[in-house]
Amino acid sequence: MFVVRKKVEAFHGQKWGEKQIGARKTISDGEKGKYTRDSGMIETSILIPTKNGGEDFEACLAGIYAQKGARPFEVIVIDSGSTDNTLEIARRYPVRLEQIPPETFHHARTRNYAAGLAKGEVLVFLSQDAIPASETWLAAFLSNLKEPGVGAVYGRQLPRAESGLERRSAFAVMYGGARIVKLPMDGVGLGHKYYHFSNANSAIRRGVWEVTRFPEELKVFEDVGIAKRILDSGWSIVYEPQAAVYHSHDFPVDILFKRYFDIGVVYQRLGIWNDRSRASLWREGWGAFKGKLSLLLKEGAAKGIGSSLVKDIGKYVAIQLGRNEKLLPRAIKKKMSLYDLFD
């Protein structure tokens, strides 16, 4: 198993399995031959959009090329204007590097472009700072796609050691330890989580992507958009906790509020909000709030509990505002949106 305690540690003597990952990991020409395959032999394409990925990107690539039991595969990096050492890092590995102008990056369109370049029958979408948590991360994805009715798989995201309570508790809800199979046209019991999917760590059958594609009318949360298309088209989606990566971002209160406002807006535009999804959101949110409030009363402001409570309240209010955005003046909505959904 890999252990990633802090992003800096991954490059200064951190041992992953039996391998030592140094500050400047490189792959020799001989090693590159193990990954450079004839196009007819490639089974899996790992697609990574990058911009100023730095240390995390190097840890991501090191984790990919340490995978066992899942070759042959290719890695395609789509860079949109990195000004740090991201391109240098990419060139140390046998990746296909494509560069696009920064202004052309678009969450859905760029991923569709990357998928169009791919040779594999399985398309793995990975964020530049998502670090595989084990040497069997990729094999865990592929094992689920042996089931013919499964169109896509998304994996667990583990919060970094330095993550705050809000992120850790949110990930515990969305990325638990139990495998989940989401059957098409059946969201009973999952509520607002039925269409949840994440491009930070996922795999889609090439044939499924070709008929669904990421919805380019969405500026953001295109992963939820394609998940809805996949499920509504009759394919299952699996959540596989064994396909885990380390990946999390702590947001300040104002950014978190705007992000969740946009979630409310996009879910409303996709027609996801219904009685079941609203009820599950309230139930889980209220449960988490009561648990943290109880801790706050017992322990005071220790461990960031008070801050996490404020963030949880803000997230819930923001989602409700986003869900009802048609009632708000456009000027207000523009200020509330993190991703410029009303420009």
Helix (H, G, I), strand (E, B) or coil at 244: strand
Quickly list DSSP for 101-164. -GGG--HHHHHHHHHHH--SSEEEEE-TT-EESSTTHHHHHHHHTTSTTEEEEEEEEEPPTT--
Separation CA 310–CA 330 (nearest Å):
26
- Distance, in Å, from the CA atom of 336 to the CA atom of 266, rounded to the nearest integer, reads 13
DSSP 243: E
Per-residue pLDDT reduced to its tens digit, 214-227:
999 999 999 999 99
Quote the Cα angle for 34-246-251, to 5°. Answer: 140
Element at 288 (helix H, strand E)? helix 275-299
Q: What pLDDT score does 61 carry?
A: 98
Residue among 167, 192, 109 at smallest CA distance from 307: 167
DSSP E strands, 187-292: 201-205, 236-246
Residues 6+ apart with CB under 8 A from 43: 71, 72, 73, 120, 121, 122, 142
Angle at 93 between CA 87 and CA 98, to 5 degrees: 45
147/162 Cα distance (integer angstroms): 37
pLDDT (0 to 100) of residue 284: 75
Mark the ranges of the chain whose per-residue pLDDT is less than 50: 1-25, 30, 32-34, 36-39
Q: What is the pLDDT of residue 219?
A: 96
Backbone φ, ψ for residue 122 (5° rounding): -120, 130
The two tokens of residue 189 are 């019991």
| Angstrom distance (rounded) from CA 63 to CA 306 | 36
Cβ neighbours around 89 below 10 Å, total: 26
Cβ contact 241:175 at 8 Å: yes
| Cis previous bond, 72, omega within 30 | yes
What is the per-residue pLDDT across 236-283, written as a single tens digit (0 to 9) for each? 999 999 999 999 999 999 999 999 999 999 999 999 887 776 777 767
Task: Please give the pLDDT value at position 294.
Answer: 67
- The CA-to-CA distance between both ends of the chain, in Å, stands at 45
* Separation of alpha carbons 155 and 144, rounded Å: 11
259: nearest Cα among 249, 273, 269: 249
Q: In this structure, are residues 76 and 48 in contact, taking their beta carbons and an 8 Å threshold? A: yes
Kindly tell me the sign of the dihedral angle through the C-alpha atoms of 173, 129, 32, 102.
positive
